Amino acid sequence: MPETPPAALDSPDILGGPGGPGGPAGPVGSVDEDDYRRLSELIAAGAAIVSTRQGSHDVAVTVDSYLDVSYDPPTMLVALYGMSRIAEAAEEAGHFCLSILAADQQHLADRFGTPASPLVGLLSGLDVTRTADGDAVLPGVLAHFAIRVEQAVDAATHRLLIGPVVEMGQGRLDLGPAVRFAGEKYELR
């Protein structure tokens, strides 16, 4: 993993807005989108696959913006691009499955992260199992969570789908999670 942070992190304009570190932040919308994208990629995030059904077809996509909201009751949130077919399909179905990828499954993150991938044959070659609602659980994952959508909230360009965990399962634990950091794939040691 890179030891030295990008040089731009030392820039007072980026760290604290116009006044430098600790200085006043600029008005809402004054943050440079390219700088934000670059710096937000420094947040290490686990890769997962969200799957649901749209009619007779599976729909799935790679995500790294998800979290456990509460343990009582078990509740999770996933952020999906608001104009995507997976956001529409999951909200319409009222449920989805979140499969947490293992370190050796980065190829699946790439496979399901390809924009405009075809619906037909999306899961070919994978020995998937199904949740009670029929959503695909990918093989060899660390864990999976079946979630019922109770709330859908717009946040910028994304749709936040929030709901209770209605089914879950532990997979293998011999490897760590698939992790993305600074736009690259990493293994935790």
Number of domains in the chain: 2
Instruction: Give the span between the Cα atoms of 101 and 58, in whole angstroms.
Output: 18
pTM, entire model: 0.81
Residues 34 and 80 in one domain: no
One domain for residues 133 and 60: yes
Question: Is 134 found in the same domain as 58?
Answer: yes
Chain position carrying tokens 């789908």? 161
Between CA 121 and CA 184 the distance in angstroms is 27
Is residue 92 domain-shared with residue 166, that is, in the same domain? yes
Q: Which amino acid makes up residue 107?
A: H
CATH number at residue 49: 2.30.110.10
DSSP state of 10: G
Write down the pLDDT at residue 142: 96
Note the pLDDT of residue 184: 58
Residue type at 171?
A: G
In terms of residue numbers, what domain contains 177? 45-186
Residue 92 has what DSSP assignment? H
pLDDT in 10s for each residue of the chain, 189 residues: 444 444 444 444 444 444 444 445 556 668 899 998 888 888 888 999 999 998 888 999 999 999 999 999 999 999 999 999 999 999 999 999 999 999 999 999 989 988 777 766 789 899 999 999 999 999 999 999 999 999 999 999 999 999 999 999 999 988 889 987 766 565 655
Phi, psi of 85 (to 5 degrees): -70, -30
Residue 109 CA to residue 88 CA, distance in Å, equals: 20
Contact 179, 45 (CB under 8 A): yes
Domain-terminating residue out of 42, 60, 75: 42
Give the other-Cβ count within 10 Å of 24's Cβ: 10
Q: Please tell me the distance from the alpha carbon of residue 46 to that of residue 178, in angstroms, as a whole number.
A: 6
